[in-house]
Amino acid sequence: MAPRLKVFVTSDGLTDYIVATSSKAKALAAWGSHQDLFKTGFAHETDDADLRAAATAQPGEVLRRPAGTRGELAKLKPAKKAAAPKKPAGPSKAALKKVADLEKRLAAAEAAHTQALEDLERKRQALEAKGSADRARLQGQLSAAKRALRS
């Protein structure tokens, strides 16, 4: 058995909005209202024969007419539903190029760092070799000087 349709009316001051649904919640949804207009007194159920006949002929459709008149009812265009958020199209070519350039620069910086460390290691080894040679030469001179003192 089909649910009994009720006719509900609300107004924004300029236009009356009429809908035939089975419940107040469905009427609020048809009007696109997030506020309980029935609780605040801005919407009500009507028994007007003309409104009932027109609204029940098109259940769930919002009909409108100029506020406070007995004018002809016009069908309201359906409210646009909120569009789902678009997925990002992906990174742009410029962003991809920037990342690639930064990766190249990082690789170059790491190679330069490694080369600098190798150069420093070679210099350290050369300095140690020179220091060892100087130390050996100076120890030889010291022992010769000590032998000369003893004799």
Position with higher pLDDT, 115 vs 20? 115
Could you tell me the residue ranges of all domains in the chain?
6-75, 90-151
Mean of the per-residue pLDDT values for the chain? 85
Please tell me whether the overall predicted TM-score, pTM, comes out greater than 0.85 for this model.
no
From the number of C-beta atoms within 10 Å of its C-beta (0-12, 13-18, 19+), residue 22 rates as: middle
> Which contiguous run of DSSP H or E holds residue 63?
strand 63-66
Give the tokens for residue 19: 């809908």
Which of 43-47, 53-57, 62-66, 82-86 has the lowest average pLDDT? 82-86
Say how far apart CA 113 and CA 139 lie, in whole Å.
38
Q: pLDDT value at position 1?
A: 46
